[in-house]
Structures are given as C-alpha cells and as structure tokens.
Structure 1
Amino acid sequence: MIIKNIMSEDPVCIDKDQNVCDALRLMGKKNVSRLLVINTNSEHERELVGIVTEKDIAIKLGSSRYGNMAPSHFHVSTVMTGELITADPDMDAGNAASLMLENNIGSLPVILDGEILGIVTKSDILDICRGRAYEKYTAGDVMSTEMITVSPQERVVHARRMMIDAGIGRLLVMDGGELAGILTAKDMTRAVINFRKVVPDKHKPSRIRNLLVEDIMKQNVRTVEADTPVTDLASMMMETGYGGFPVVDGELEGIVTKTDILDLIVEIEGVF
C-alpha cells in the first residue's frame, strides 16, 4: 500500500507568525495533534517551513526559558520543528512507518515538486492492520513491558523531564502498585495554559513548579487485555484518537502504543 492512498489530503496548516494559543485553538477545533507550519509571506504559496505538535508545545511551555512567558507572546515558529522529514506520495506505507520509527516522529508531510499534497500519520498507517496478516497478533505480542511510570504526588515539571529524556508522549501513573491514571503531553499543555489564565502573574512560576501529576492526570483509564487482537487495537486507536492503552490482566502487564504496532507493521511488510 502506498501512502497517497491513506494520507490525509487536506492537512491543517498555520502561519509561522501566529501564536501558540492560536495553534492550540486550531488543534482543538480540528481535533488534530499536529499542524503543518507555513510561511504565507513567501513568494511560494503555502511554503512549508515546519511542523508543530502538542508535545512540542508542552516541552517549550514547561522550560525555564519560556515557562514564564504567556503563550500568546511567542510565535509558532518558536516551538515548531523546522528540520522536516517528508515523504513522496508513492512511498510504501511500510517504509513510511520505518522512517517514523527511525526518527521518533509521528507523521510525515507528503510533498511532490515542492507542493504540499497531504500528511500521513501513525494513525493513518494503522489502517494496514485491518489486513488478515495481522489477525493472529495480540496486545501481548506487541506491548512494551519496560514501562516508565510516575507517582500521583510527583511534580509535573519532573514528569515533563521524564517524557523528554525518554522521547515519549505519555506516562502511566502508579499509586501503591495500582494504575491510578495516565498523563500525556496534551494534558500538560492544556493544564499549563488553563492554569495561567486563573493564577496572578506574580504567583505563576512557583505555582506551576508545584503542580502535581494528580492535579492534571486522566483517571479511569481505558485499558485492554493481553489477548486483545491487534486489529481491534488499531481500530480503537483510530476511533478514539488515543495513542496507547495500558494492558491489564488483573494487574498492569505493559502498555501498547501506536509505535509498538508500527514496529509490527514494519516487520510484516518486509521494509527495504
């Protein structure tokens, strides 16, 4: 399968000079987690200059350099990734998955002769898992058992550093050996934005530094069992927009993410 058959043909774009609040509002309105960044002042219509994700924004908002600035005060160009890895529309989907895994990215802008044709994401590639070759695989076959966890009483700034160091977008929250919740980069971004709206300026730095994981984590986490078919997992991820599910059979056994399923796709599709 080639990616022009599964890509999103109308990617959501934002100008590099708009601010981060504009980006977050657009993500929420369009229900996406990333935006292509364009330069509308260029002589080339829709010149692609970068990509910005919720994870990018979370990392910047929590940094010491930008942490005290209002998100409306800095441009998308400040938080975007400018060194883009792109794909040709005729690239095999398995090779696109391999490229994402190698570079720890969640999407590839699809470009032909300098024109933006679309974007292909991990979610788009999951569609391959509807094939019969994947029916025999389960969550237990692909899940990660080496999990990075955090306690509810840990500070969010520490959780953010853990995500950055591990190159991941979510942490399982464990309390007394039990799964208490999940914390994502999106949760952190939304929490910091909302926090700044209600806390007086002079108190923002200290209050944000002392924000706890339990204050913003998602509770009542949706889980799957180890024998859940990969085909069902892929459908659940595409339907819910979730990037991963804890695997629980009485106790926490692992976590299965889009990345884990992409690993399987690369193996089965015989990437070269």
Structure 2
Amino acid sequence: MQIKNLMSEDIITIDKDQNLSDALKLLRKHNISRLPVTNNKELVGIVSERDIAAKLGSSKSESMPASRFHISSVMVKDVIAVPETMQLGEVAKIMLENGIGSVPVMNDGKMSGIVSKADFVTLAVGIAFDKITVKEIMSNEVVIVSPTDRLIHARREMINAKVGRLPVVDDEDLVGMITSKDLMRAFIDFRKNVPEKYQKSQIKEILVEDVMSSNPSYVTKEMSISDVSKIMMDTGFNGLPIVEGGKLIGIITQTDILRLIEKLES
C-alpha cells in the first residue's frame, strides 16, 4: 500500500512567524500533537507538543510567556518528508530510524498530506493482529517517575529518554501517567498565574502529582494488539502501561506497534 492511501489530507499548519500561543490554540482546537510549519506556504519545519514542553521548561526561557516565542525558535527545521508513492513499510522504517512521530507527504514539491504513528495504529486491527499479544512487542524497560518528583525532573527524563510519556509509580504501584501535553499545559498555566519575579524559585515546587493523570488506563500482557490498538484509537493515548498483579511490568506505545507493522510489511 502506498502512503497516500493512509495519510491525512486535512493538514493544519502554522506560519513560522506566529507564536507559541497560536500553536497551543491550534493543537487544542484540533486535538493534534504536532503542526507542520510553513513560510509563504512552503514547508520549513515541524513543531510538536514535546518540542514546546522542552522549550518552556528550560531554565533559559523559564520566565518568558509563550507569546514571546516565535515558532521558528522552537520548531525542528530538518524535516523529513516522503513522496505519496512510497510504500507503508518504507515510511515506517524512516520514522523508526529517525525517531519521529509523523512525516509530511509530498506531491510535486508541495505538501499533500501528513501521516503519523496514530495513522499506522489504525492498521493494527483485525485477524492478523488478534493473534499477536502485547507481551510479544512490549517494552520491558520503562523510565518512571514518582509522584513527589519535581516536574522539571520529569521533563528532563522525557528529553533524555526521547519519550512523550512516563508512568508514575509509588512503591511499585502504578498511580498515574504524565505526558508531554501535561507538561506543556502546566508550564503555560504556571507562566500565566505566577508573577515573573517568583517563577524561578516556584517552578521547582511543582510536583509530578500536581500535573499527572490519576487512575490511568492500562492493559495486560495477554491482550491482543488488535484490542490495544482499538483502545489507543478510542482514547487518543499514545502509550499504555502494562500491569500485572497491580504492578507495572512494561509499556506499549504507538512506536511498538509501528515497529511491528514495519516488520510485517518488510
């Protein structure tokens, strides 16, 4: 199958000279996690929730409001794009090798669509995926944080591990999840509500438990990939913790499912 048969043609873009506040409005309005960036309608970059969270949480920019940042200062400039005629397996391989969550799709030098890991997950439903279980593709090594860790520590862990979500564990029990979206919104709200002169000291007082989602959805290692994919599609979650006997034993993400599809396609 060619990637044009999977891509989304409804492309929401942002101009490089707009600011982060504009990006946040678009991300929330359309319930998406990344935006292609344009200049005179030409593709020049891409910006994601993870990029925004990393920028807003850095010490160099901790007291600056989102409206002060141009998209051009936050976006990833070296965008990898693919032609409409490229096969699914090839696109999946490119995304995996480069650690990216989406790729713009081009036709005659112009962007005609965008495809994300979430689009690939829609393919992992059906008889073939009913026979594959979570334990066959799950990640056993999971980066975790505790409820009492500082939010800036969680941000650092996400950046270092190149992930967009972290299980929150207290005494081996899964008690929550925290994502790039949570970080991004927390840093925005912090800037709005705390006077600038107090921000440098008070940012260190925000804890993971203040921001995380409690009572997170989870799956078991015996569930089928088809069922897990349906949950991801219904909830919009990019990853789900795996629990056994009340204890966290792993995580399964869209990346794991993408890797499976790439393997099957090749």
CA distance in 2, matches of 1:110, 1:163: 28
User: Are the aligned partners of 2:3 and 2:88 in contact in 1 as well (CA < 8 Å)?
Assistant: yes
Residue 131 (structure 1) shift: 4.3
Q: What corresponds to 2:156 in structure 1?
A: 161
Residue 254 (structure 2) aligned to one of 241, 246, 258: 258
Q: Runs of 5+ in structure 2 lacking a partner?
A: none
| 1:78-109 deviation digits (Å, cap 9, x = unpaired) | 11001010011111112111111100000000
Residue 63 (structure 1) shift: 0.9
CA distance in 1, matches of 2:20, 2:77: 16
User: Is it true that 1:190 corresponds to 2:185 in the alignment?
Assistant: yes
Residue 74 (structure 2) aligned to one of 50, 69, 79: 79
User: Is it true that 1:133 corresponds to 2:131 in the alignment?
Assistant: no
CA distance in 2, matches of 1:87, 1:198: 42
Q: Runs of 5+ in structure 1 lacking a partner?
A: 41-45
User: Are the aligned partners of 2:37 and 2:45 in contact in 1 as well (CA < 8 Å)?
Assistant: yes
Any idea what SS the aligned residue of 2:221 has? coil
User: Is it true that 1:49 corresponds to 2:44 in the alignment?
Assistant: yes
CA distance in 2, matches of 1:236, 1:97: 21
Residue 141 (structure 2) aligned to one of 137, 146, 149: 146
Q: What corresponds to 2:86 in structure 1?
A: 91
CA distance in 2, matches of 1:185, 1:171: 9
Any idea what SS the aligned residue of 1:150 has? coil
User: Are the aligned partners of 2:103 and 2:114 in contact in 1 as well (CA < 8 Å)?
Assistant: yes
Residue 114 (structure 1) shift: 1.5
Residue 125 (structure 1) shift: 1.2
Q: What corresponds to 2:106 in structure 1?
A: 111
Q: What corresponds to 1:43 in structure 2?
A: none
CA distance in 2, matches of 1:118, 1:201: 41
Q: What corresponds to 1:249 in structure 2?
A: 244
User: Is it true that 1:179 corresponds to 2:174 in the alignment?
Assistant: yes
Q: Mean Cα displacement is larger for which, 52-61 or 131-140?
A: 131-140
CA distance in 2, matches of 1:233, 1:92: 24
Instruction: Give the residue type in structure 1 aligned to 2:263.
Output: E
Any idea what SS the aligned residue of 1:51 has? strand
Residue 63 (structure 1) aligned to one of 33, 42, 58: 58
Residue 232 (structure 1) shift: 1.4
CA distance in 1, matches of 2:126, 2:262: 14
Any idea what SS the aligned residue of 2:82 has? coil
CA distance in 1, matches of 2:250, 2:128: 23
Instruction: Give the residue type in structure 2 aligned to 1:2.
Output: Q
Q: What corresponds to 2:14 in structure 1?
A: 14
Q: What corresponds to 1:2 in structure 2?
A: 2
Instruction: Give the residue type in structure 2 aligned to 1:99.
Output: I
| TM-score with structure 1 setting the length | 0.95
Any idea what SS the aligned residue of 1:24 has? helix
CA distance in 1, matches of 2:207, 2:22: 26
User: Are the aligned partners of 2:64 and 2:191 in contact in 1 as well (CA < 8 Å)?
Assistant: no
Instruction: Give the % identical residues.
Output: 50
| 1:116-146 deviation digits (Å, cap 9, x = unpaired) | 1000000111122124322211111111110
CA RMSD of superposed structures (Å): 1.1
Residue 249 (structure 1) shift: 2.1
CA distance in 2, matches of 1:233, 1:178: 21
Instruction: Give the residue type in structure 1 aligned to 2:211.
Output: I
Any idea what SS the aligned residue of 2:47 has? strand
Superposed structure 1 runs of 4+ greater than 6 Å apart: none
Q: Mean Cα displacement is larger for which, 128-137 or 17-26?
A: 128-137
